[in-house]
Structures are given as structure tokens and as C-alpha cells.
Amino acid sequence: MPIQNTNQPKEKIIQTLKTNGPSLPIHISKEIGVNTLFASAFLGELLSNKQIKMSHMKVGNSPIYLLAGQEPQLEKYSQHLKSREKDAFLLLKEKQILEDQKQEPAIRVALRAIKDFAVAFQKEGRVMWRYFTNTEAESIQEKKENISHPTQKEKPQNLPQEKEKPDNQIQTKKISEIPPEKPANQSSSQEENIESHKIPKEIKISQEITTQESLTEKSASAKNLNIFDKKKYIKKTTVKKKKTSTKQNQKFFEKIKHFLSENNTELLDIISFNHQQIILHVKTNENEKILVAYNKKRVNEIDIIDAHKKSAELSLPYAILTKGHQTKKLTEFINAAKSLQKIEIFE
């Protein structure tokens, strides 16, 4: 499909999103008739110009692209959420509003991960979560109607639980400090020894469970506070590499487009496009040719031969574009080949 200018595929992308709603890059590329890498480059341009939006969640390694106002349609992709994230999504969708502090640590972590569906806000110093289709005012109203806050009478019930930990610690200390009494007989001595071993063990287990719960809460809060911070969460290395690779491809493509514009060269078709090279069908001053752009500073004889083969297939002359100057040896080889008429064999 000939492409007269880069605006045409971008207009097709916007039209595709209007028709199909939020879509993955692979589906968009099929609709506009170009490969995924090339479609990603156009999507990157539209995203930087704020003409489209991109989801936080990913299906595999691909984000979802959408137009402003299509956010509610992202619900159909909720099936791709991970197990805990899906639990948090379903809980929030059912309740519409959740108080952060009252949730399990795993749910609190998951709520911070599903940014497309969970919106955080603060109410009276407490962190709250609302379902993304609800406004803050609607969420607060539902909270008043459906979820009552603890009353003043209920609050003291929690106080003894907070004091249980010191009591256990004091009790353990006292038991360990009391020396065993001398037995009157052997049987009573054995019973006392058994009892003295049982009690500290029970207290120790209780303390271990309490300590583990405390550590879990602390680690969850340490990881998940500062949700109103503007800094983005650190992503996994694999995802970061994928994102960096996509950005490099877009940057490479942008440089080629700039070169074509500066040299009054019209883009007629995209023959192939990957992170190493782009092969284009272009026209300059009514003369058509194949332009092979390499994403490196120097080319070698093999690169030249490959470019020649591609141009021969299309019966067009070709030109090569690189990021740097060629070696003196390669330049001499090209000049020598130009003057070469024939290689003959003698016996």
C-alpha cells in the first residue's frame, strides 16, 4: 500500500480506535496495513502529541491504546489481570469504594497496581480507593450509605489488642526468670518440667505469629505508601528493555523521516522495517528508487550486496543511508566496482 504522507496512517489509527475502541498494537497494525513496529512508531507520535492515550496495564508486553473518553471500555481487558490484581479489581467494582488501611496487604499492593481501574484520593487524612467510573463525590456518598465508620464505642475494643503484645513479653520474661522449685518427688518434678516447657512454647508461637503479621503490615505499608507521589513505579527489567527498544525504534524512524523532509524526498511505500534497517520506496525529483537506511555508523560489503539484491527484485536503483562516514577501504572498493566492466577467466 503506497503511503503518500505519514498523516494518512495516523488518521487511520484514530479512525480504528473510534470504531473498535481500546486496541492492542497488533490489531491496529492489521487494520492500517503495516507491520507492528511501524504501527508502534505512529502510535508513539500520536501519544506524544496527546491525540491518544495508553493504558497502565499490559496484555503480555503490549499496552492498550485508546481515545480520551474510552476508559470505561478497558473493563473488557480486566480478564488479563494477574490473580491478586483481579481479586482487587472485583472487590473494588463490587464495593465501589474501599478504605486502604482496612484491606489485606496483598489487596493494598494490588490496588496500587491497577491504576486503570482504581483511583486513590484522601478523605479526612485516610487513603481511599474509588472505582474509576465513579466520581469522588459519588464514592463518598456511597461510603456514607453502605460503609459506616467505627463509632467511639467501638474504638476502645481495639485497645486491649494493642496492649496484648507487651503483656506477652512481660509474661515470657517472668516465666524465664522464675527458677524451678525443687520437686518433692520424681513424678511431680516431671509434670512441672513438662508444664514449664509447654507455656513458653505457646507464648513463643503466639509472639512469632504476631511478629510475622506486624512485619507483613510494615513491609506492605513501606512499599505502598506515597501513592500520591508523582514518581512512577520502577518496572521489571524485561518490560523496561522492551520499552527502551520501542523508543529506540521510534527515534530511528523519526530521524529517517527528518532526512526525507530535508531532502524533499517523498515516501511512497514501506517495504520493510526493523530495529536494524528500514527499506523504503521513495521518489526524489520524479525519480523513484529504493532507500535502505541502516541503524549503524558503517556498512560493509554484505550490506551493500543485500541492498543491491532488494533493488534488483524491484527493478529500481538504490541508495544507502547510514549514521556515519564509511571507511576509506570501503569507499575505494565502491569506486573500483563502478569502473569494473567485466571479470574474465583465462586457462
pLDDT value, residue 203: 44
Domain with 321, as residue range(s), is 240-337
The rounded distance, in Å, linking the Cα atoms of 40 and 28 is 9
Is residue 261 one of the residues assigned to a domain?
yes
Same domain, 176 and 89: no
Same domain, 87 and 72: no
The rounded distance, in Å, linking the Cα atoms of 105 and 330 is 63
Amino acid present at 232: K
pLDDT value, residue 144: 59
Same domain, 64 and 92: no
For residue 122, report the phi and psi dihedrals to the nearest 5 degrees: -110, 135
Is residue 272 one of the residues assigned to a domain?
yes
CB burial readout 75-99, b (16+ within 10 A) else e: eebbeebeebbeebbebbeebbbbe
- Going by the DSSP 8-state scheme, the letter that residue 68 receives in this structure is T
Sort strands 318-321 and 287-294 into parallel, antiparallel or unpaired: parallel
- State the cell numbers at 70: 474510552
The angle, 0 to 180 degrees and rounded to 10, between the axes of the packed helices 7-20 and 25-32 is: 120
Name the domain boundary from 191, 220, 249: 220
pLDDT value, residue 55: 95
Domain count, the chain: 4
Same domain, 113 and 170: no
pLDDT value, residue 337: 79
Mean pLDDT per 10-residue segment, the chain (347 residues): 63 94 93 83 88 93 93 94 93 93 93 94 90 73 55 43 46 44 47 47 46 49 50 48 61 84 84 83 89 89 86 89 85 81 82
pLDDT value, residue 266: 87
Same domain, 54 and 17: yes
Same domain, 43 and 111: no
Same domain, 111 and 193: no
The rounded distance, in Å, linking the Cα atoms of 66 and 51 is 9
Q: Order of strands, edge to edge, in the sheet holding 318-321?
A: 266-273, 277-284, 287-294, 318-321
Is residue 230 one of the residues assigned to a domain?
no
Name the domain boundary from 97, 117, 146: 146
CATH classification at residue 24: 1.10.10.10
Same domain, 254 and 315: yes
Same domain, 269 and 328: yes
CATH classification at residue 105: 1.10.10
The rounded distance, in Å, linking the Cα atoms of 130 and 138 is 9
pLDDT value, residue 87: 94
- State the cell numbers at 326: 564509511
The rounded distance, in Å, linking the Cα atoms of 107 and 220 is 10
Same domain, 64 and 47: yes
Is residue 344 one of the residues assigned to a domain?
no
pLDDT value, residue 302: 86
Cell numbers 572498493: residue: 333
- Going by the DSSP 8-state scheme, the letter that residue 181 receives in this structure is P
CB 307 within 8 A of CB 326: no
- State the cell numbers at 18: 473510534
> Percent helix, strand and coil across the chain, each rounded to 5?
55, 15, 30
Name the domain boundary from 16, 42, 76: 76
Alpha-helical runs (H) found in 56-147? 83-95, 105-113, 136-146
Same domain, 256 and 330: yes
Is residue 49 one of the residues assigned to a domain?
yes
Cα dist from 123 to 118, 127, 150, whole Å:
15, 7, 15
The rounded distance, in Å, linking the Cα atoms of 116 and 93 is 12
Is residue 235 one of the residues assigned to a domain?
no
Same domain, 93 and 71: no
Beta strand segments in 295-344, E = 318-321
CB 310 within 8 A of CB 320: no
